[in-house]
Amino acid sequence: MAENVGPPSTSGRAQKIVKRLLGHENAVLVIILIALIAVLSGLTKGKSVTGTNVMNVLLQASGRGVASVGQAFVILTGGIDLSVGGIALMAMILAASMMTGTTAFPAGPIAVMLLVGASIGSFTGTAVSRIGMPALIVTLAVWKIMEGASFLVCHGYTIAELPPSVSFIGSGRVGGVPVPVIIFIVVLVVAYFILYHTTFGRSVYAVGGNPVSAWLSGVKTKNILFGVYVICGFMAALAGLILLGRMACASMAAGVGLELDSIAAVVIGGVSLMGGRGTIIGVLIGVMIMGVVNNGMNIIGIHPAFQSIVKGLIIFAAVAIDYLRRR
C-alpha cells in the first residue's frame, strides 16, 4: 500500500525553522546583543551607550572574558571548572602579599601568580584525566581549598599598598586602549589560533565530541584533558591579575562569582555543555552579552538579589537552547 505523502505539518515547519536559526548561533547572538543594547539604551535614557560607559563595559568584561576563554577549553571537552574563582583569589592574595609596600614593577610576583594558576590547573587536570575523578567534584573541592588557603595567607585582611605599575595593568592605556582590553584581545587571538590551527585544538573538539572515538583514532585523550585544565588555571590567574590591577588591592571578596560568570558567558556564547561544539567568537559575544546585562542592571539600580535571578534565568535559557539544538 502506498504511503500518503503530504505537505509537512505546521509544527514540522516551525521545528525546522527553529533548528535552522539555532544552527547559526553566532548570528543569533549578535542580534540578541544588539537588541539588548537598544533596550538598555531606552531604559537608561542613553546612559548605557555613552563612550565612557562603553569603555567601562569593556573593562569589566575583560577579566571575566579571560577567565571565560579558559573555561571554554574545559567545557569544549565536556568538562567544567568550578575552581576558577578560587584560583583567581589565591593568585591575587599570594601575589599581593609578595608585592605590598614595594614600588618596582612586580615581575616576580606576577610570574609566581601565573605559575600558581597553571600548577593548580595541573593538579585538577591530573585528578580528572589520570585518576578519572568527576570534574565537578574535583574543581568544587579545589575551589574550597583555595578559599581556605587564601584566608590563611591574608588572615581575612585586605592587602593594599601595591606598586603603581599594578594599577596600570588594571586601568592603564596603550594608544588609548585599556590594558585589560588589550590582554583580552591577545588571549582571544591565541585561543583562536590554538583551537583552529593546531593538533591540540582539533583534539579538544574531538574529545568533547566523542572521547572513545577520539581515543580510537589516536588522540591522547588524557593529555588533552590535562592540558585544558592547565590552560584554565593559567587563564584564571591572569584574570586575577587584571582584577588585582583594577582593584589595586586584594581581599577575600575578590574573584567571587567568577566561576559562574565564566560558565554563563561560555554557555550563552553557544558552547555546548556536552562538549565538542562552540567557537571562540561565540564566547566573545557571550562575554559581551553578560557585560552589557550586568552594566545595564547596575545603571538601572536593580537589587543584587534580582540580578542573580536574572543571571540564573539567562543561564537556564542558554542551557535549554543547547538542549533543543542537540535534539
Among 35, 137, 115, 98, which residue's Cα sits nearest to residue 244?
A: 98
Domains, in order of start, for the chain: 48-319 (1.10.3470)
The three state secondary structure string of 228-260 is HHHHHHHHHHHHHHHHHHHHCCECCCCCCCHHH
Contact 283, 266 (CB under 8 A): yes
- In whole angstroms, give the CA distance from residue 117 to residue 119: 5
- In whole angstroms, give the CA distance from residue 177 to residue 304: 30
Tell me how far the alpha carbon of residue 308 is from its chain's centroid. 17
Beta bridge partners of 174: 177
- In whole angstroms, give the CA distance from residue 165 to residue 91: 17
Amino acid occupying residue 148: G
Amino acid occupying residue 158: T
How high is the pLDDT of residue 21? 47
Please list the pLDDT of the chain residue by residue as tens digits (327 residues).
Answer: 444 544 555 666 666 655 554 456 677 788 888 888 888 888 777 777 777 778 888 888 999 999 999 999 999 999 999 999 999 999 999 999 998 878 888 889 999 999 999 999 999 999 999 999 999 999 999 999 999 999 999 988 988 888 888 889 988 899 888 999 999 999 999 999 999 999 999 999 999 999 999 999 999 999 999 999 999 999 999 999 999 999 888 888 888 888 888 998 999 998 988 888 889 999 999 999 988 888 888 888 888 888 888 888 888 888 887 777 766
How high is the pLDDT of residue 12? 63
* pTM of the shown model: 0.87
How high is the pLDDT of residue 111? 94
Using the 8-state DSSP alphabet, how is residue 198 labeled?
S
DSSP 9-42: PHHHHHHHHHHHHHHTHHHHHHHHHHHHHHHHHH
- Greatest CA separation for the chain: 89
Count the neighbouring beta carbons within 10 Å of the beta carbon of residue 104. Answer: 9
The DSSP element (H or E) to which 173 belongs, if any, is: strand 173-174
Place of cell 537598544: 38
How high is the pLDDT of residue 327? 67
Instruction: Indicate the SS3 state at residue 203.
Output: helix
